[in-house]
Structure 1
Amino acid sequence: MFNKMLSSIGIGNTKIDAQLDKQSYMAGETVRGKILVTGGKVEQEVDQIYLSVNTKYVKESDDKRFNVNVIMDKFKIAESFTIQPGESKEIPFSFILSPQTPLTIRDKNVWIDTGLDIKKAVDPGDIDYIQVNPSQLVNAVLKAVDSLGFKLIEVESKEVHRSFGKLPFVQEFEFKPRSGQYKGLLDEIELIFLPSEDQVEILMQIDRKARGLSGLFAEAMDQDESYVRFTVTNSDSSTVQETIQEIVNQNIH
């Protein structure tokens, strides 16, 4: 009876440890691993084992900014079972990391939360941060922008009030011209990637540098910004730099 009471407050309870095959993935890749379950001091009934993919984004309210955690996906790994005192179970798992998973270029902002549901006890959990790299197509776009003389300044996930999918945020990539033909002509460009299985839709904001009184007036009226929406596919990966350059050139003046 005393051991059951301790388990109900998390002392001597069942423990879990999620072990991933690796720590670095591309968005859209399959994540594989195993969950080790170790029984505590008393027999316990486990209702389910679940994995969730989590991230965070910035929300603004009343001129204040704060981070919000969000579950992107949740997967049920195992049905109910009984774990005996000291018993060990090993449960393999696999799931596909959503193509919309934010990239971890500047921040550890994606983690996998593993949990057990146990009646009348504290539910044990385990958190593992992972690195999320761009897909080959998104990487081709990032390299193309870099080759055009832009430097990546900031990457941030921000709340959106219109739907770009099932998620309440988008990840913005801000670039400033460091060299080349756009230095002195543009203040910055911002990119948002909306990837799917074999293509990426791109939202681009082009911010022109103010030149003279007319330029300052346009900047004050937010008329110095252009917004472009276009799509690149896997077959476009070799020509994506030319595509982006053409779009930027069309929106400089």
Structure 2
Amino acid sequence: MAFRRILTALGKNGPSVETVVETPEVRPGGMLRCAVTAVGGAADADIERIGLELVVRAEDHEFDRAAWKHPYTVATADFDGFRLAAGETVTRHVEMQVPWEMPLTHGRGEAIPGGRAAVRTRLAVDKAVDQGDFDEIQVHALPAQDAILQAYADLGFRMHEAEVKIGLLKQAPNMRARQTAKYWQEIDLYFPESSEWARHELETVFIAREDSLDAHPGGNPPARFVYADLDQAAWTESLDRHLKRLYIV
């Protein structure tokens, strides 16, 4: 499966570029693969640079709650320019590692409201820079993240939405300890209907790594989970104990 779109054409008979996202579904820590094809126009052109950016919707960058006009870049991949002859077709294959702390668009196989990610192509040709367009992709939760989301569901929490924030976590020093990215994603869930907190939301932040992750509920110290120890029932019980130390749920 791939997304195809002509991203830019500089001038009526100028060169164009097409990006094919070869892995439109990825996970944190995985590899995003794209094929970028430049097609020459009526005259020779100097392609100075083609860059790919992995971008997400960040709440801090938008003025409208539903808008996605100012995407935030979380990873980049560039390749050197080349001379593109008139009518010539040149294809470059690009790989980009998805950050471990990559914001999610999907959890438990379902879209998370507010979660959006895309690949944006930028083209610099003959001293002109075109911002290109972006092709949306799906970022699915790691098995461990799915297990935590399933634990929340089993405990009666209800998914609301997700938001990406820019910067380092400031609510609690313990939350900053293992964060390496200059952004984080809050996944907002409603407390169980039976809880005295039922009308409130619980914001959970995942800080994922290669072998483990921290789940920070509501700006509090994390519950930590090691991937090799994944056990749904045990993790649900562990999360339940952790939350009961913080809230009456």
> Structure 1-normalised TM-score?
0.77
Return the letter of the residue paired with 2:221: V
Counterparts in 2 of 1:64-143, with a 5 A limit?
A: 68-76=70-78, 78-104=79-105, 105-107=112-114, 109-123=116-130, 125-143=132-150
- Tell me what 2:17 maps to: 16
Contact 2:103 2:185 in 1 (8 A): yes
- Tell me what 1:152 maps to: 159
Structure 1: state its 5+ residue gaps. Answer: 1-7, 206-225
When Rg is computed on C-alpha atoms for both structures, the one with the higher figure is 1
- Tell me what 2:243 maps to: 248
Q: In structure 2, the residue corresponding to 1:74 is in which secondary structure? A: strand
Describe the shift of the 1:18–1:108 C-alpha distance in structure 2 as closer, same or farther (beyond 3 A).
farther
Describe the shift of the 1:189–1:236 C-alpha distance in structure 2 as closer, same or farther (beyond 3 A).
farther
1:114 Cα offset (Å)? 1.4
Contact 1:16 1:124 in 2 (8 A): no
Describe the shift of the 1:65–1:48 C-alpha distance in structure 2 as closer, same or farther (beyond 3 A).
closer
1:227 Cα offset (Å)? 2.2
Return the letter of the residue paired with 2:145: V
| Whole-Å separation in 1 of the counterparts to 2:89 and 2:121 | 16
Which range moves more in the overlay, 35-44 or 98-107?
A: 98-107
Q: In structure 1, the residue corresponding to 2:202 is in which secondary structure? A: strand
- Tell me what 1:216 maps to: none
Contact 2:211 2:228 in 1 (8 A): no
Contact 1:151 1:177 in 2 (8 A): yes
Give the number of aligned pairs: 220
Describe the shift of the 1:107–1:10 C-alpha distance in structure 2 as closer, same or farther (beyond 3 A).
farther
Describe the shift of the 1:135–1:106 C-alpha distance in structure 2 as closer, same or farther (beyond 3 A).
same
> Can you list the C-alpha shifts for 1:2-51, whole angstroms capped at 9, x where unaligned?
xxxxxx96332211111112322112211123111100111011122211
CA RMSD, 1 decimal: 2.7
Could you say which structure has the higher strand fraction? 1
